[in-house]
Chains A and B, each alone.
Chain A
Amino acid sequence: MMSKAISPGASKLQFSLGIDIIIRILLLLFAVIILVPLVFMVTASFMPSSEITHMPYRWIPSRIAWNNFYRALAGNDGSFVYIRNILNSLFVSVTVAFTTVILSSITGYSLAKFNFKGKHIVFMGIMMTMMIPFETIMVPMYMVALKLGMQNSYQGLIVPFMMNAFGVFLMRQYLQTFPKDIMDAARIDGCSEPKIFRSIVFVNSGPAIASLAILTFRQQWDNLMWPLMIAQDKKFKTIPTYIVSFAEEKLSDEGAMMAAALIASIPVIIMFLTLSKYFVGGSSVYSSGKE
């Protein structure tokens, strides 16, 4: 969307070479400032703690302190529960991305391609939920989850996020242009409606599904508040909640803290480097989706 189509308008605005170089130097300068904390995290995770607090900060570790990673994984009590928490985060984020994609596309498909009484009301109702920020309903939602016996369980971490209104909206917009002829042809051939969805519509919605899946994965990967409430048991913590308790208890172990941060970031950094198109594109989907 953005990289290929180099701005048709702005290219008309190009300045002379001198100004161009000044602009690039400025951009580089800002970028370095933005990247400093990331470089700090990576270098500090390999340093002995005494070196991290050394003034001035030396950007290259004098020796590599692999021990930081051991302490980060072992945790405060040597139980290595962080490994389980990392797996929890992966499991919850992948599952939520999966259910969101399926449930949102089936709902979006119905709202885009079927005519039934009350369709408009259903659509408006779902869109209205986009105006309810999670932060304003977290307390009653927590009480619902308690009633359903979901505290300290994977259901508690997953079920409240199984689908979202934005996903429905995105899939509906996307599927509105899906050719109806193909669906009708399948119907004439005797294909059942669920099968049409599964083997024709769903498998041909790749780009929208990929964007939605990555967006949802990242939301869950970043989710702090809900796991904080629903998962007090160490075994069900996710990475963000582990980081919080680790920071509280190991305040003076800077090396291990940065190692824990780096470990927590590796999966998303890999995703970012391989699927960057959907990361950056996903945020513009958000803005254009509101039109």
Chain B
Amino acid sequence: MNTERKGKKRRGVEQVQARWGWYFVIPAIVFFSIFSFYPIINAFTLSFFKKNMISPIPPRFIGLENYIYVLQSSDFWNSVRATLTFTLGTFIPLVIASLVIALLITLQGRNFRLWQLLYYSPAVLSSAVAALIWMLIFTPTGIANQFVNTLRNTSGMDMRWLSSGEMVQISTMIVYFWKYIGYFTVLYITGITKIPAVIYEAATIDGASRSQAFFKITLPLLKPTTALVSIVAMLQCLKTFSTQFLFTQSGAPKAPINVITLNIYNTALKDYNVGRASVMSILLFVTMLILTIIQLKVSRSDDVTY
């Protein structure tokens, strides 16, 4: 064997290896073509066609008709409003609260792991389970009402968490906030621990006080992490589905929490209107693509901070 190998030209070995390199990526090329590229191209083309999900009639080209219909329908704009309300109402509190908790955990400097695990634990549950637990907490006799009544020193007041249009929006935000607070806290802690000790040492030598070090070093150096966490949180909120789905299936009013993914799902699988569902998919895709590109830019600038 050895002598045979030595006899071969170096180039021949490289060619053999290049071929193996190709063999190893073939499964990936096949997989991503079928389950990523074909569907996204298909979503784009189908948005110009009239197509019923279950009828055998082939799709009929109708130009921009789907786009015009969707952009003029109040149902779509209600979904945009619901999604934006949810996203803003969820990701801003999430970012602020996870920053505060991460700072508190690192400032007290002990038992990092234990604190992280405590806060992370809701993220372990599946979204359907999380929504189910909160559905019972939000019932008229549930502990959410009892908690509010204790705080306000009232009795028997019903906040109508799941039945009033305004409250049900807040309820979905609370579920999401609860589930993901630990996740973003962990991201922040990673960002805080990345700040090199040398910077603090230099500041201490220059006579900076602890609070000065905190306000002049820690907070400003967390800007890139904050940008990253914000966009990751925003992207996740735009995709929210499970809580809204479970709540509406169990009788909560649909219109206030009819987020865009829920609308796509219902348009495609209840109304069988593939074309209109595709239009909404493409609009969501473009929105998220822009945010992702911003995210990539932000995380790249992350590297040159220190």
- Residues of chain A at the chain B interface (Cβ within 8 Å): 1-3, 5-15, 20, 23-24, 26-27, 30-31, 34-38, 40-41, 44, 52-57, 103, 106-107, 109-111, 113-117, 119, 122, 125-126, 129, 131-133, 135-144, 159-160, 162-163, 165, 168, 187-190, 193, 197, 218, 221-222, 224-225, 228-229, 239-241, 243-244, 247-248, 251, 254, 257-258, 260-261, 264-265, 268-269, 272, 276, 279-280, 283-284, 287-288, 290-291
Contact = CB atoms under 8 A, between A and B. Distances in A.
- Among B121, B181, B228, the most chain A Cβ lie within 10 Å of the Cβ of B121
Contact of B137 (A40, A159, A193): A40
Interface in B220-268: 228-229, 232, 235, 239, 241-242, 245-246, 249-251, 261, 264-265, 268
A135 B193 contact: no
Given A2-B190, A13-B107, A229-B269, A133 B128 contact: no
A248 B245 CA distance: 11
18 contacts: A8-B196, A9-B192, A9-B196, A10-B193, A15-B107, A27-B105, A34-B182, A114-B17, A119-B21, A132-B36, A133-B235, A140-B43, A159-B35, A243-B126, A244-B245, A284-B187, A287-B229, A291-B303
B187 A111 contact: no
Contacts of A34: 118-119, 121-122, 178, 181-182
Contacts of B282: 136
B74 interface: no
Contacts of B195: 7, 9-10
A124 to B, nearest CB: 12
B110 to A, nearest CB: 8
A114 B143 contact: no
A106 B127 contact: no
Interface of B: 1-2, 5, 13-14, 17-25, 27-29, 31-32, 34-40, 42-43, 46, 53, 101, 104-110, 112-113, 115-130, 132-137, 139, 141-143, 146, 178, 181-183, 186-187, 189-193, 195-197, 199-201, 204, 210, 213-214, 217-218, 228-229, 232, 235, 239, 241-242, 245-246, 249-251, 261, 264-265, 268-269, 274, 277-278, 281-282, 284-285, 288-289, 292, 295-296, 299-300, 302-303
A283 B183 CA distance: 7
A163 B31 contact: yes
B246 to A, nearest CB: 6
Contacts of B120: 279-280, 283
Contacts of A23: 104, 107-108
Nearest to B41: A140
Contact of A287 (B5, B190, B239): B190
A257 B136 contact: yes
Secondary structure class of chain A's binding surface, majority of residues: helix
A9 B289 CA distance: 35
B221 to A, nearest CB: 9
Q: Which 10 A-B pairs have the closest CB atoms?
A: A114-B21, A110-B24, A8-B197, A3-B113, A137-B39, A240-B128, A140-B42, A12-B200, A140-B39, A10-B106
Nearest to B203: A12
A10 B109 contact: yes
A9 B241 contact: no
A12 to B, nearest CB: 4
A107 B28 contact: yes
Nearest to B225: A287
B146 A55 contact: yes
A137 B18 contact: no
B194 to A, nearest CB: 8
A163 B28 CA distance: 8
A276 B119 CA distance: 12
Nearest to B18: A116
Contacts of B269: 142, 229
A272 B121 contact: yes
Given A7-B106, A135-B239, A140 B278 contact: yes
B210 A103 contact: no
